[in-house]
Structure 1
């Protein structure tokens, strides 16, 4: 692994950071205040991303994407992490699981998503099935040549803007020596499809404006043509395309932590107590030293995971380590930054309290810290038969 960035990678970092600073930062306070992203603003950001040539940059050139490597795309996500998630959502990165589309699905879903003509949303989580994916109760049963789906999903991000949904549903049960296991199938479902409803979900204190939605299926009939991948092959699709999304969470956390760190250092250098900048006090300077050490460590863990993917090396454990460490690092960095700002850190005159609140969810979604520790330990002990 080379530790320096290429000239092209430096350009990617510079371009995306400039975009975030100029197109995202100016609107963050208003989105935080209202909890909304005006439709016109979202479409404006989306168009500027298209004009920049970065829309769907996580897709290969053969389908119209920018063809970035895992490392390049991780750098993009790291810089986007500096900005409001509600706004950077429109810096389009469709779910790369859409590469599993075949036949007419490519023209109906994949290519329009890459071109920015349609937006997607991923739906797995249920009220009783978060980390336990096989515990999902939303199910599809055969009825003639159709599938009839009943149940619900919740915590679905990006649903308000989605033209179609990538939904994982239970489609049967296998009896195994370790007990029954549900078979999972992935479906592509259009907004407005009969029997399918999308409604606003819960009011979260993290990432205002980046809303979560509830999906409900009431005798919703789907065709085999709407199956993404193979029937009962949902886990295969998941394992091939989705597990690297944890890497994007890690990258986001690194980017957000660096923005927070920059604010902390600037404030500590300017804020005076007892006649000198508070940066002169070891109580502050040592905390700053710990912060940058942790940020750099999380950054290299994350880039290492991306590098392994590009080398076609096993990366499951490394990505889990990056997601675990980076998300917990962000919690410590935002908390320390707030402490350095003192009482002002809790005031909405500064974005610190927002970063502090936003950081909390990173240890939960895309696999909790406990799930990441399970993945890491399983990877270590399984070869030993334990």
Structure 2
């Protein structure tokens, strides 16, 4: 499966991304993540030079014009070093499906250069998995709108160049709760929040390198809409296949980091006069870890190939997200165990892989939501039985 997928061109892309990740990203992650430091601007600029923010953007707009397969390959390599950096590249090329021709002309070239990166303001306190249950509202004001309400889990709200905000412009319809939601684009200066928006950083246990925010909109002004008014929910859901495959690739990268570091550690750590890697118990752990990583990667390659061939499947995207994220939680936990007490310190990346892997089972739809999507596809929706 993997040999025909990894063509000569893709192997070259993989080697380039791996070299960058190990030489440029990993040392920065090892230094900054333990003290919750932020991804340096210099690193972002190097990523832009390599085209990482425009992998999926067509060449006519200055992007690389590559497919989801190449995107997943690069994401895995970056996540092996630091998951936050692997997440950052999505900020220039996902959730743009609702752009009209004028917006594509104005924004995609800047996105491809890493100069117009987004923060996604969708979730709320009562609208997490039940994302249609939005209460944030927007009312007309002249040629624009005033947005009022709360948003949760808005990563990169301060460092981004614009917020993509989802708010109700029509009263909720109990029979069609996803209707009446509009997507707004709010440009802003990096390092600030838009006027009329205040925020509090979330005290999270991982995914360091950038802040995740709880935001309060108090009549914040927005003049630009993405897509049609009242149909923003379709935009929010439109790129979920890509987002879930992106998370699967991040999970695989984290698991591979745990595996590779564990292989190195059992060869170096000596107990009872010999390396601990001679112990069958640890050897079998590593064998199981390696097999699980390979299995998840093979499924990801299969799903990417289908999407690039014009055969997307939300069910398969949910499957690979579920399989890869839960695999990563198991494998990174085993990696920490292999490191023993050292793994429970910030002196080794083992604990970082473990903390970040735990998040992959939650964001972009929890494992429970993925199981519901998959089971509904196979058995029909339970609420319609």
TM (norm. structure 1) is: 0.90
Q: Aligned partners of 1:379, 1:345: CA distance in 2, in Å? A: 40
Shift of 1:209: 2.3
Structure 2 residue aligned with 1:256, among 254, 257, 262? 254
Shift of 1:129: 0.9
Shift of 1:106: 3.2
Shift of 1:218: 1.2
Inter-CA distance 331–90: structure 2 relative to 1 (3 Å threshold): closer
Inter-CA distance 78–132: structure 2 relative to 1 (3 Å threshold): same
Structure 2 residue aligned with 1:227, among 209, 225, 228? 225
Contact between 1:153 and 1:214, CA under 8 Å: does it hold in 2?
yes
Inter-CA distance 200–19: structure 2 relative to 1 (3 Å threshold): farther
Aligned pair count reads 380
Contact between 1:196 and 1:215, CA under 8 Å: does it hold in 2?
no
Instruction: Map 1:42-121 onto structure 2 (within 5 A).
Output: 42=41, 44-88=42-86, 93-121=91-119
Shift of 1:89: 5.3
1:186 aligns with 2:183: yes
- Match of 2:285, SS state, is helix
1:8 aligns with 2:15: no
1:26 aligns with 2:24: no
Structure 1 residue aligned with 2:275, among 274, 277, 280? 277
Q: Aligned partners of 2:150, 2:188: CA distance in 1, in Å? A: 15
Shift of 1:118: 2.3
Q: Which moved more, 1:112-121 or 1:282-291?
A: 112-121
Contact between 2:240 and 2:364, CA under 8 Å: does it hold in 1?
no
Shift of 1:120: 1.5
Contact between 2:57 and 2:108, CA under 8 Å: does it hold in 1?
no
Residue 160 of structure 1: aligned partner: 158
Residue 201 of structure 1: aligned partner: 201
Shift of 1:181: 5.1
Cα offsets for 1:244-296 (capped at 9, x unmatched): 20110100111111111011112223323334332232221221111111111
> Any stretches of 5+ residues in structure 2 without a counterpart?
none
Q: Which moved more, 1:207-216 or 1:323-332?
A: 207-216
Contact between 1:206 and 1:359, CA under 8 Å: does it hold in 2?
no
Shift of 1:231: 0.8
Residue 134 of structure 2: aligned partner: 136
Cα offsets for 1:7-57 (capped at 9, x unmatched): 00000100001001111112123312331226xx32x22222233333311
Residue 333 of structure 1: aligned partner: 331
Inter-CA distance 73–293: structure 2 relative to 1 (3 Å threshold): same
Q: Aligned partners of 1:228, 1:371: CA distance in 2, in Å? A: 26
TM (norm. structure 2) is: 0.91
Q: Which moved more, 1:128-137 or 1:116-125?
A: 116-125
> Any stretches of 5+ residues in structure 1 without a counterpart?
none
1:311 aligns with 2:281: no
Contact between 2:198 and 2:217, CA under 8 Å: does it hold in 1?
no
Cα offsets for 1:346-385 (capped at 9, x unmatched): 1222111222222211111111011110111111112998
Q: Aligned partners of 2:221, 2:89: CA distance in 1, in Å? A: 33
* C-alpha RMSD over aligned residues: 2.4
Q: Aligned partners of 2:210, 2:362: CA distance in 1, in Å? A: 16
- Match of 1:289, SS state, is helix
